Amino acid sequence: MDIERLKGSINNLRWAKFIAIIFLAKGVLMILAILIGIIVLIPLSVGVISRVETAARMFILIFLLLIGIPFLIFAAAMIILHLRTGSSLLEASKDLSRFKDTGDTDYAYIGMEKLSSFIKFHGWITLINMILWIINIVISTFISAALQAFLSSVGNMQNL
């Protein structure tokens, strides 16, 4: 294989570094958002729970656990994916830059491996986002259909 040609075909590594930094920043921002959310929500929910009756308190606790735990697991997975996507792309762009500068082919192989990891992690993020879109579309369609049915039934009752 022609090393010089391979070097020539590897371009836009600054863009790759920029994308990597954005992914890392997104991961850090997600961590901050979760921490702020926990700091704000815990005293708020404790305040609400202490005011209601025991039966309602249990219901609220179960509801919070049912919503909160899956959300936290999902958020942790997304944070890890974003951080790993960013770090693998940053390392890949560094290794490929070294290959371009020094011509050492080992850096090319390592860089390509890291780039493959970036593609895998980003693929997971894309897949999760697509599943979320589908869930969002299904839920919004269901809610709008239920709302329309409710409004039409109210209209029928008023006509009667």
Partner 1 sequence: MDTERLKNSLNNLIWAKVMAVGFILEGAILVFGCITLPLGILSIMAGLKLWQASDDLSRFKNLGDPEYAYIGIEGLSSFMRLYGWLILIPLTLITVGVIFAIFVYLARL
- Binding region for partner 1 (CB under 8 A): 1-3, 5-6, 8-13, 15-16, 18-19, 22, 105, 108-110, 112-113, 115-117, 119-120, 122-124, 126-127, 129-130, 133
Residue 6 CB, shortest distance to partner 1, in Å, is 6
Give the whole-angstrom CA distance, residue 108 versus residue 104.
7
User: Which C-beta is closer to partner 1: that of 15 or that of 63?
Assistant: 15
User: Which C-beta is closer to partner 1: that of 126 or that of 153?
Assistant: 126
Q: Which residues contact 10 (CB under 8 A, 6 or more apart)?
A: 96, 99, 100
Structure tokens, 40: 């704000």
User: Which C-beta is closer to partner 1: that of 18 or that of 74?
Assistant: 18
Structure tokens, 134: 């589908």
Structure tokens, 84: 């790993």
Written as one letter, the residue type at 44 is L
Q: Given CA atoms 149, 153, 159, 160 in this order, what sign does their dihedral have? A: positive
Residue 99 CB, shortest distance to partner 1, in Å, is 10
User: Which C-beta is closer to partner 1: that of 29 or that of 39?
Assistant: 29
